[in-house]
Amino acid sequence: MSTDRITMIRERLDAALSPTQIDIIDESAKHAGHAGAKGGGGHFIVTLISGNFSGKSLIERHRMVYDALGDAMQSEIHALSINAKAPEEI
């Protein structure tokens, strides 16, 4: 199941943001048993480098990621930590 979620996250972010780098870490096992995890949603850390983030504020970048993930934020993902950078920031 976790591999399926990572694949889904990667595909949605690739399609929407064309990142030059994407790293996804599943930390769901660390949160097993807590209230939010009971609904089945996973805990993930996402690091993205994308030209689409150039000139965008942190809030705008996070909104772009949330928009790309769409309905998965309501079911498949319980918690998401986002590190979003433009190529010129690395």
| Axis crossing angle, helix 2-17 with helix 58-69, rounded to the nearest 10 | 120
Q: Are 42 and 77 in contact (CB under 8 A)?
A: yes
Burial class of residue 13, CB neighbours in 10 A (0-12, 13-18, 19+): buried
On the question of pLDDT at 78 being above 70, the answer is yes
Query: What is d(CA 26, CA 71) in angstroms, rounded to the nearest whole number?
Result: 18
Query: What pLDDT is attached to residue 55?
Result: 98
Residue 50: closest CA among 61, 63, 59:
61
* pLDDT averaged over every residue in the chain: 91
pLDDT at 38: 56
Confidence band, pLDDT 50/70/90 cuts, at residue 75: confident
8 Å CB contact between 44 and 27: yes
CATH level 2 (architecture), domain 2-89: 2-Layer Sandwich (3.30)
Is the pLDDT score of 32 beyond 80? no
Residue-by-residue DSSP string for 24-44: EEE-GGGGTTSGGGGGT-EEE
- Where along the chain do its domains lie? 2-89
pLDDT digits (tens, 9 = 90+) for 40-69: 679 999 999 999 999 999 999 999 999 999
